[in-house]
């Protein structure tokens, strides 16, 4: 794990606030440990508050980003009880509730931090993995040792295998439906259905419920009331209550991967966005699936750990090793893979020095981006051969954009070797 080195005096006295002046916004923007104040590249959760600020939970610190300024909290400069963040949600008073790996649950009102753990409360475990506020104002907490319902003052109700019909205590995800029904996903313990704040049912493979997987890493509800869940090995499924199940797996559908980690339904555009463990960002529109991966786009990591959509329909993703990705699909107008343009040739790839570009038709420009989405090379082009000297460049992955006279763009991923 990478840890950002900060002088102890600065850490003790100040919250890190940084203004980042960005270039013109592109479809893909990557905020990482190396090009921004993001404290760590493994991003476990992203939630958006009422002010459209992005609250980003990493393996080493909490970051808040308002699209211009960053504020970063550690245990050393705040009341945060643990630097490893696993879940974030907000209550009706805009307080942030933050779940950690080993420090329990903390409430942050913008000034004060109040922490609940197994020593000072009825929290079932200090590993808090999921958080949601229901329609009546109760906080639901998923932990490694069961579920807690908390009135956010002093009263707790807990559900564990010892006092309920839960099969496992290891909770992975929570979704509150508009009718206040709670749908709770587990790790290998089935899907838990709460009604009137009591456990109505536990759906598992063994009890014939029709559920395709006993693990549900993330949950989202669409405009029709279908609850979608992402599984780590068995694809995408939707729970429709008495109407049964939808199930999408590479063997029976066009979804490109069964290894899923996150899911979010964008009501405005009726799009289901899906994060995968090995195939980048997957988009479901109707019955069709498409994917943005490191080989066909500027996304820097195929392992998506979390995702959400802001009030401008921009997708925000947390990756396993490359930080936060901001994706505005509206800026991808007329974009294609270069493999679809038979008259274009880039070679050699990988390259240790010269990169040659050959076109049989008129193209107006060639641009090269680094993995953060910044333009690092730009040149007007013409029919024939063009040579780009990359001998002095650092090794790494880059993306070449070729702009046609028609305005269409074609992309190809290239690798520069030492």
Q: What angle do CA 69, 72, 77 make, to 5 degrees?
A: 135
DSSP-based three-state secondary structure for 12: helix
Task: Estimate to the nearest angstrom the gap between the alpha carbon of 390 and the chain centroid.
Answer: 33
- In this prediction, residue 21 carries a pLDDT of 37
Dist. CA 87–CA 72, nearest whole Å? 16
| 336 — pLDDT class (breaks 50, 70, 90) | low
Average pLDDT over residues 179-187: 95
Residue 181 tokens read as 């029904």
- In this prediction, residue 415 carries a pLDDT of 84
Average pLDDT over residues 312-326: 97
- In this prediction, residue 3 carries a pLDDT of 41
Helix or strand holding residue 129 (H, E): strand 128-133
Average pLDDT over residues 330-352: 67
Average pLDDT over residues 10-37: 61
State the CATH class of domain 336-416.
mainly beta
Whether the pLDDT of residue 111 is over 90: the answer is yes
Dist. CA 318–CA 361, nearest whole Å? 39
| 8 — pLDDT class (breaks 50, 70, 90) | very low
* Strands (E) located in 204-334: 218-221, 227-230, 236-239, 245-248, 260-266, 271-276, 281-285, 288-292, 304-309, 315-319, 324-327
Whether the pLDDT of residue 270 is over 60: the answer is yes
Name the least confident of 28-37, 229-238, 310-319, 324-333.
324-333
Judge contact between 86 and 99, C-beta under 8 A.
Answer: yes
- In this prediction, residue 19 carries a pLDDT of 41
20 vs 45 pLDDT, higher one:
45
> pLDDT (tens digit, 9 = 90+) per residue, 368-415?
887 667 788 888 765 556 788 888 888 888 888 887 776 667 777 788
Residue 93 tokens read as 């008073």
Query: How many other C-beta atoms can be found within 10 angstroms of the C-beta atom of residue 33?
Result: 19
DSSP-based three-state secondary structure for 91: coil
Average pLDDT over residues 67-86: 97
Name the least confident of 93-107, 165-179, 208-222, 371-385.
371-385
Whether the pLDDT of residue 322 is over 80: the answer is yes
| 149 — pLDDT class (breaks 50, 70, 90) | very high
| 248 — pLDDT class (breaks 50, 70, 90) | very high
Q: Taking the C-alpha atoms of 302, 316, 141 and 64 in order, what is their torsion angle to the nearest 10 degrees? A: 120
Q: Which has the closest alpha carbon to 147: 94, 198, 102, 83?
A: 198
b/e map 148-187, b = 16+ CB within 10 Å: bbbebeeeeebbbeeebebbbbbbbbbbbbeeebbbbbbb
Task: Estimate to the nearest angstrom the gap between the alpha carbon of 3 and the chain centroid.
Answer: 21
Judge contact between 370 and 398, C-beta under 8 A.
Answer: yes
Judge contact between 177 and 133, C-beta under 8 A.
Answer: no
Name the least confident of 237-241, 252-256, 355-359.
355-359
| 343 — pLDDT class (breaks 50, 70, 90) | low
Average pLDDT over residues 329-341: 60
Average pLDDT over residues 326-342: 65
Average pLDDT over residues 314-343: 78
Whether the pLDDT of residue 14 is over 50: the answer is no
Average pLDDT over residues 229-258: 90
Q: In the chain, where are the structural domains located?
A: 8-334, 336-416
**Which CATH code of 3.20.20.150, 3.20.20.70, 2.130.10.10, 1.10.3720.10 fits the domain covering 8-334?**
2.130.10.10
- In this prediction, residue 333 carries a pLDDT of 53
Name the least confident of 103-112, 244-253, 326-335.
326-335
- DSSP letter (8 states) at residue 59: T
Dist. CA 33–CA 56, nearest whole Å? 13
- In this prediction, residue 243 carries a pLDDT of 76
- In this prediction, residue 384 carries a pLDDT of 57
How much of the chain, in percent, has pLDDT values that exceed 90?
Answer: 64
Name the least confident of 17-21, 169-173, 399-403, 413-417.
17-21
| 365 — pLDDT class (breaks 50, 70, 90) | confident
Dist. CA 67–CA 324, nearest whole Å? 12
Average pLDDT over the chain reads: 87
DSSP-assigned states of every residue in 251-272: TTSS-S-S-EEEEEEETTTTEE
| 296 — pLDDT class (breaks 50, 70, 90) | confident
Whether the pLDDT of residue 334 is over 60: the answer is no
Dist. CA 21–CA 195, nearest whole Å? 48
Helices (H), 175-318: none
27 vs 8 pLDDT, higher one:
27
Residue with tokens 């313990």: 189
Residue 107 tokens read as 């409430």
């Amino acid at each position: 794990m990478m840890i950002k080195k900060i002088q102890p005096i600065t850490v003790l006295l100040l919250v890190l606030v940084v203004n980042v002046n960005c270039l013109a916004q592109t479809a893909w923007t990557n905020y990482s440990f190396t090009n921004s104040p993001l404290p760590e590249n493994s991003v476990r959760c992203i939630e958006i508050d009422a002010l459209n600020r992005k609250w980003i939970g990493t393996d080493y610190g909490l970051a808040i980003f308002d699209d211009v300024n960053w504020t970063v909290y550690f245990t050393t400069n705040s009341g945060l009880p643990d630097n490893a963040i696993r879940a974030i949600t907000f209550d009706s008073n805009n307080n942030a509730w933050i779940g950690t790996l080993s420090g329990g649950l903390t409430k942050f009102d913008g000034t004060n931090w109040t922490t609940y753990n197994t020593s000072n409360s009825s929290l079932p475990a200090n590993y808090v993995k999921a958080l949601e506020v229901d329609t009546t104002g109760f906080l639901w907490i998923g932990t490694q040792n069961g579920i807690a319902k908390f009135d956010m003052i002093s009263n707790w109700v807990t559900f564990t295998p010892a006092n309920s019909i839960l099969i496992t205590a290891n909770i992975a995800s929570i979704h509150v439906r508009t009718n206040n029904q709670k749908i709770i996903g587990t790790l290998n313990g089935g899907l838990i259905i709460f009604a009137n704040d009591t456990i109505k049912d536990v759906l598992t493979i063994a009890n014939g419920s029709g559920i395709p997987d006993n693990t549900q890493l993330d949950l989202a509800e669409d405009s029709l009331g279908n609850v979608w869940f992402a599984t780590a090995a068995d694809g995408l499924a939707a729970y429709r209550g008495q109407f049964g199940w939808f199930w999408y797996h590479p063997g029976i559908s066009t979804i490109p991967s069964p290894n899923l980690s996150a899911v979010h339904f964008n009501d405005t555009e009726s799009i289901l966005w899906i994060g995968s463990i090995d195939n980048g960002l997957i988009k479901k529109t109707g019955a069709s699936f498409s994917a943005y991966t490191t080989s066909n786009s500027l996304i820097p990591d195929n392992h998506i750990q979390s995702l959400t959509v802001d009030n401008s329909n921009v997708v925000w993703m947390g990756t396993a090793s490359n930080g936060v990705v901001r994706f505005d699909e509206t800026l991808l107008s007329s974009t294609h893979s270069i493999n679809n343009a038979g008259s274009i040739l880039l070679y050699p790839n990988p390259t240790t020095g010269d990169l040659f570009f050959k076109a049989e038709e008129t193209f107006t420009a060639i641009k090269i981006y680094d993995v953060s989405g910044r333009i690092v090379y730009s040149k007007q082009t013409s029919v024939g051969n063009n040579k780009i000297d990359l001998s002095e460049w650092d090794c790494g992955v880059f993306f070449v954009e070729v702009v046609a006279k028609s305005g269409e763009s074609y992309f190809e991923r290239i690798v520069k070797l030492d």
